[in-house]
Structure 1
Amino acid sequence: MLDFPVIDTDIVKIAPDFRAISILVDANDGVRGTMSRDVLGEACDFVRTGGPQWADAHLASWAEVYSRFGAKPNRTPCSAQALKKRVDKDGRLPSIGPLVDLYNAVSLRFAVPVGGENFDAYVGQPRLSIADGTEAFDTVANGEAIIEHPSKGEVIWRDDVGVTCRRWNWRQGTRTRLDSVGGRMWFILESLGTMPEEALEEAANMLVNGLRQLAPGCEVYRHLLTAQDTQAGPAAKVSILTDGGVFPSKAD
């Protein structure tokens, strides 16, 4: 169960202030629940009224990091920026399903990229690394499944088979995509130094609390990692959660 992500040493050169919370959830018992609130709608409303005060600075930091590894953030923004742009344009996001709605809501409310992955589809550990350009990336184009390859020097999440997310947190692949509650699920909340540490903790608490509503009785393993936690270091920071946090109030 404790196959936690590792970070390649070159990442610290691109984002020395990178800090993330990894959450691994075991929901194999089959018990399913429901959300008590419209968290996605509330998050969209929060963004429309200005969002968190650090949002612009944090998203600008992600754009700068993208530029450092050769990506064009205006064309391929980080996932949190992409969600915000859709809300700014349309006012709301369409509901996809309770699980995706939950982690999209966390991303919007806290201006932080959040990824959700089917951990049972992974081969080996998730790894944040620099692409050499030969790695396989499963995706869909014009309704058909295809294999793409990242650019050389691109920051990617990958496992032993290939790329699971391109351009750090821009686009997830199809092989490990997570769209419903069940099995082992892995989530990663990724921040930079312009996001307060306590806000990242609050975002993780919101996600864990929502997951406990959607999968009552699930086991949650959570740990902190930073750009300095290369290769073998982070396992000592594992914590097993017996209860989650609380949603921010509607007044937040």
Structure 2
Amino acid sequence: MLDDIWVDDSVFALRPDFAVLVMTAHGLRNGPTDDRSRAWLKAAGEEEIQTAKIDAWKEAYRAFGAKPQRTRPSVDALTRRMPLPEINQAVDAYNSVSVKHALPIGGEDLDHYAGPARLVRAAGDEPSEEALGQPEPGEVIWRDDEGVTCRRWNWRQVVRTRLTEDTTNAIFLLERLEPMSLEELEQAGDELAALLAELSPDVRIARRLLTPGK
């Protein structure tokens, strides 16, 4: 699964500093928000907002024609929602890591994917859920064989692959731009893996770092 995921060269050409740490979690036991995941959210909400990292994502959005004030990068939208929303334990885990590191993270149900995930520049005719609308030509999107899974890089995910309390196999996409270092990206991955292991001691986690040329 991990070996089949790819980022198109046109995305790296847009932002040569882009890297994504892809993590899969098999055997996950999710559930409703509890005191433990609520504490993760509270601690993350008390962190100082790292505006330089968020500003880098706003610039990336402008580079493919999106207006970040209207469709905000996921981490920008999340840091504006205080207290952080309670969704479910797995989502709470990755949202807390996202806010702590000012790092966009997407979490999706792997069993609802059709073929491998890939990050591409849209042609504009990709199938998409009605609520998200049709991607614009040149827009950066995550997609699979069925169509769009996330519009405008990390703005909004589709319902089809959403993480729910019934999810047992998940994929997480941790997306980095400078000034975040690759070392911090890996650290954020370690932290997310540790939280998922708290939820599910038997969870099996694999990871792969995608950078230009790899």
Would the TM-score normalized by the shorter structure come out above 0.5? yes
After superposition, the C-alpha distances for 1:222-246 in whole angstroms (9 at most, x for unaligned) are 11111333xxxxxxxxxxxxxxxxx
Does residue 111 of the first structure (1) align with residue 102 of the second (2)? Answer: yes
| Contact 2:30-2:88 within 8 A present in 1 as well | no
Instruction: Identify unmatched segments of 5+ residues in structure 2.
Output: none
After superposition, the C-alpha distances for 1:55-88 in whole angstroms (9 at most, x for unaligned) are 221111111111010100111111001111223x
| Contact 2:30-2:166 within 8 A present in 1 as well | no
Superposition TM-score, scaled by structure 2 size: 0.91
Give the counterpart letter for 2:72 in structure 1.
P
Give the counterpart letter for 1:110 in structure 2.
H
| Contact 1:18-1:192 within 8 A present in 2 as well | yes
Instruction: Supply the distance in 2 between the matched residues of 1:122 and 1:194 (Cα, whole angstroms).
Output: 31
Match of 1:136 among 122, 127, 131: 127
Which residue of 1 is the match for residue 6 of structure 2?
A: 6
Instruction: Identify unmatched segments of 5+ residues in structure 1.
Output: 141-146, 230-252
Match of 2:65 among 70, 91, 113: 70
Which residue of 2 is the match for residue 157 of structure 1?
A: 142
Bigger radius of gyration: 1
| Contact 2:53-2:179 within 8 A present in 1 as well | yes
| Contact 1:139-1:173 within 8 A present in 2 as well | no
Which residue of 2 is the match for residue 41 of structure 1?
A: 42
Give the counterpart letter for 2:16 in structure 1.
P
Which residue of 1 is the match for residue 18 of structure 2?
A: 18
Match of 1:80 among 75, 86, 89: 75
| Contact 1:118-1:178 within 8 A present in 2 as well | yes
| Contact 2:2-2:22 within 8 A present in 1 as well | no
Deviation at 1:35, TM superposition (A): 7.3
Instruction: Supply the distance in 1 between the matched residues of 2:2 and 2:170 (Cα, whole angstroms).
Output: 12
3-state SS in 1 of match to 2:149: strand
3-state SS in 2 of match to 1:156: strand
Instruction: Supply the distance in 1 between the matched residues of 2:130 and 2:195 (Cα, whole angstroms).
Output: 28
Match of 2:193 among 195, 208, 231: 208
| Contact 1:11-1:227 within 8 A present in 2 as well | no
| Contact 1:119-1:184 within 8 A present in 2 as well | yes
Paired positions, count: 212
After superposition, the C-alpha distances for 1:76-118 in whole angstroms (9 at most, x for unaligned) are 111001111223xxxx123111111111101100000000011
CA change 1:19–1:181 in 2 (3 A) is: farther
Which residue of 2 is the match for residue 58 of structure 1?
A: 53
Deviation at 1:175, TM superposition (A): 1.0
| Contact 1:79-1:113 within 8 A present in 2 as well | yes
Q: CA RMSD in A?
A: 2.1
Superposition TM-score, scaled by structure 1 size: 0.78
Which residue of 2 is the match for residue 126 of structure 1?
A: 117
Instruction: Supply the distance in 1 between the matched residues of 2:167 and 2:200 (Cα, whole angstroms).
Output: 8
Give the counterpart letter for 2:102 in structure 1.
A
Give the counterpart letter for 1:112 in structure 2.
L
CA change 1:224–1:2 in 2 (3 A) is: closer
Give the counterpart letter for 1:196 in structure 2.
S
CA change 1:10–1:44 in 2 (3 A) is: same
Instruction: Supply the distance in 2 between the matched residues of 1:209 and 1:69 (Cα, whole angstroms).
Output: 35
Instruction: Supply the distance in 2 between the matched residues of 1:111 and 1:15 (Cα, whole angstroms).
Output: 18
| Contact 1:35-1:213 within 8 A present in 2 as well | no
